[in-house]
Structure 1
Amino acid sequence: MEEIGFMCAGCGGEVHDVTHNREGTLDGVGYRHNQRVEPWDHELELAVGSPAPRDQHCDFCGVPGPSWLYYPTLDPEDTDMFEVELDTTQLSDDDTAVAVLNMLYPWYSCDTCSVLVADRKIELLIARALELTPVPADGPVDEETVRARLKGSFSVFFTTRPGRPQPSRAI
């Protein structure tokens, strides 16, 4: 029996809920695609059903068959408080919540992006992601918003990951 849950009616992908908390109060609950970087080619169409299984892909640029895996270095259960440098300058509350969630899960990387990660070339990672998946002119968000989202997510990655990845095929 397949497990029923939230999914995107547009792409069939799994969806997670995101809570927004400020100073001990619940400000709201939102939903997002269960991906490191939310797709910018379509808006989430919330539905209930069995999400389609996804093949592994690079969490930086989206190419299939990633070779490397970066484990998080933060364990939020080890301490009640932990701090992360996060560039939220141009991010909405939803986008900030998504970026913070990214610190808790491993990231996959292709060979090209792993070199850019090793050199800490965040702008080149953003350029590669946008080159391989351009922002549609009539899409739900503009390129400036996508760049801000990528910068926020990648800044969390660089703050919470060690310098050397593990081969992803070891999983």
Structure 2
Amino acid sequence: MEDLGFMCARCGGEVHDVTHNREGSLDGVGYRHNRRVEPWDHELELAVGEPAPLDQVCDFCGVAAPQWLYYPTLDPDDTDMFEVELDTTHLSDDDTAVAVLNMLYPWYGCDTCSVLVADRNVDLLIARALDRTPVPADGPVDEETVRARLRGSLSVFFTTRPGRPQPSRAV
């Protein structure tokens, strides 16, 4: 067990720490799943261990073996300040921090979602994600919260990734 780190005891997924900064001050630190949008079927159960490797899936809808890769256009090593238009309406500080982290990592997309991305069809991307992974009635968050999280993450995606995707097999 050489790769000890934070993980979710419930799903075995990798966990990242996120800081909340407002105008140069540290407001707090939180922990989130290392996924595009915090899973809505369970809350994070923080543990220390070796996170389980996840199969590569479409970051928009969860389909296995995505064919397309979208690289971020912002280079975090170039500057310590990012200016991104982010729709944070109805997002908590934790959800906003996760949405901002999304700009630093490449996104994978399936064929269907890549067409929706090319059309910039946010509403259909959200509908597809919720169709493939419905929000449980007794889950930790309601559908309105999930929609807000998806919209926030997608607003960062569209702000930081112009142009065409690359075939994912090139990675």
TM-score range, shorter chain: over 0.9
Distance (Å, rounded) in 2 between the aligned partners of 1:127 and 1:163: 23
- Could you tell me which residue of structure 2 aligns to residue 91 of structure 1? 91
Alignment of 1:3 with 2:17, yes or no, is no
Shift of 1:37: 1.5
Task: Give the TM-score normalised by structure 1.
Answer: 0.98
Report matched runs for 1:139-158 at 5 Å.
139-158=139-158
TM-fit CA distance, 1:2: 3.3
Could you tell me how far apart the structure 1 residues matched to 2:48 and 2:37 are? Answer: 22
CA distances 1:18-54 after superposition (whole Å, capped 9, x unpaired): 0111111111100000111111000000011111111
2:167 matched to which residue of 1? 167
Counterpart of 1:73?
Answer: 73
Structure 2 residue matching 1:30: 3-state secondary structure: strand
Give 1:82 deviation, angstroms: 2.7
Deviates more, 1:121-130 or 1:70-79: 70-79
Change (3 A) 1:9 1:80: closer
Shift of 1:3: 1.0
Structure 1, gaps ≥5 residues long: none
* C-alpha RMSD of the superposition: 0.9
| SS of aligned partner of 1:6 | strand
TM-score, normalised to structure 2, is 0.98
Deviates more, 1:87-96 or 1:70-79: 70-79
Q: Which runs of structure 1 show a deviation greater than 4 angstroms over 4 or more consecutive aligned residues? A: none
Distance (whole Å) between structure 2 residues aligned to residue 32 and residue 40 of structure 1: 12
What is the identity, as a one-letter code, of the residue corresponding to 1:14? E
Q: What amino acid maps onto 1:144 in structure 2?
A: E
- The one-letter code sitting in structure 2 at the alignment partner of 1:150 is L
1:106 is aligned with what amino acid?
P
| Length, aligned pairs only | 171
Residues of 2 paired with 1:110 and 1:80: CA distance?
32
Q: Secondary structure at the match of 1:7?
A: strand
Structure-1 separation of matches of 2:155 and 2:146: 14
